[in-house]
Amino acid sequence: MKKVIIALMLVSLLLVSVACAKAPSPVPAPAPAPRPAPMPAPAPALVPPPVIIAPPAPMPAPMPPREGVAYKDGALPSIEEERMIVRTGDILLVVADVVDARDEIAQLAVRLGGYVVSSWISGEEEEMRGGISIRVPDDKFEPALAELRNLAVRVTSESTGSQDVTEEYIDLQSRLKNAEATEAQYLALLEKAEEVEDILRIYDSLSRVRNEIEQIKGRMQYLERTSSMSLISVRLEPAKLDAKFTADKTRVKEGQELQFTGQIAGGFVPYSYEWDFGDGSTSTSKAPTHAYKTAGSYTVSLRVTDDRGSTDTETRSEYIIVLPGWSTVEVFKSAVRGIVIFGQWLGTVAIWLLIFSPVWGAIIGVIYWRLRRKKRKAVS
């Protein structure tokens, strides 16, 4: 049975192959031109993320070289060297001679490459005071202060300060650049303008821009000068001891307090004080208070001694006038004196009347007689 089935299958296959060989084969159509296949997308896990490079931030324009600043090997200065610092100093000196010290400080400024800004002198002899302001190169600031200390008998006070104006200077640079660019635009418009009205309008705007440019340049030059030349202000006082004093009132009543104040210049601190109020009272305070108990005029004196034994004394004759104050005793005495004076006056009047009584009697008799005579005539 198996053999029969196999034989049938072989016959079927033979018939199918013969039929296919006898049928005409169709002509194949021409294939279209092949298109380039797109590249396969890379696997995200294998491709690194894209790197975005940001453009560099614009660097601030370097500051122009400043006068008096030395750059090493022609290189631009570092950030620290570019800082614009305005330095100032204030010093109070006690000197042997105010005028000589002022002249020496002026010579010092010129010798260090600076100049004198201002100077003044006031008073005479012991009361003479002075001052001088100088500018010196910034790198000579500390040496100048050291030499000023050497000129003094004593340095009473000293202070220094500084101000960083770098930010302001950079801002002025930016404003100047913008103003100059605006000026260039106005000049270009001016060349193209034909109408008189347009020309006048452009000239007006151009003048405002140029005025702004001049102001900015002036401020920049000022900052450059002040940062390169430091300012030192010097006040001068004489070394000779000078004692003065004042009182808050010079006319007071008995028992009323008044304030005395010593005014000392020169010498060497600390000072010692010796007050004499003229009524037997004394004090060693710089600013004592005192009350006078008796009316009158008083001479006050002050003697001052400094730390090195130098002394100076001021005396004011009849400086304080003390007026009588109110008291019951004084009022009673005054009332008694008034009664006595009134009694004396009454006695004087009585004596005058008694002495001149004949005269007054004759006068009164004549007046009385004349009146009676007139009366009789009128009746008759």
In order along the chain (380 residues), what is the average pLDDT of each group of 10 residues? Answer: 47 44 41 43 37 36 43 41 81 89 93 92 79 91 92 88 85 91 88 85 88 91 84 88 89 90 82 93 92 91 88 92 75 82 87 79 81 77
Query: What superfamily in CATH does domain 242-323 come from?
Result: Immunoglobulins (2.60.40.10)
Q: Say if CB 62 and CB 76 are below 8 A apart.
A: yes
Closest by CA position to 264, among listed 170, 156, 182: 156
Output the pLDDT for position 195.
Answer: 84
Of all helices (H) and strands (E), which one includes residue 16? Answer: helix 2-22
The residue extents of the domains of the chain are 81-181+226-239, 242-323
Burial of 339 by CB count in 10 Å (0-12 exposed, 13-18 middle, 19+ buried)? exposed
Q: What is the pLDDT of residue 326?
A: 65
Report yes or no: 86 and 227 within 8 Å, Cβ to Cβ.
yes
pLDDT for residue 283: 93
Q: In terms of pTM, does the model score above 0.75?
A: no
Quick one: tokens of 360?
Answer: 């007054």
**Number of helices and strands in the chain (H, E):** 8, 13
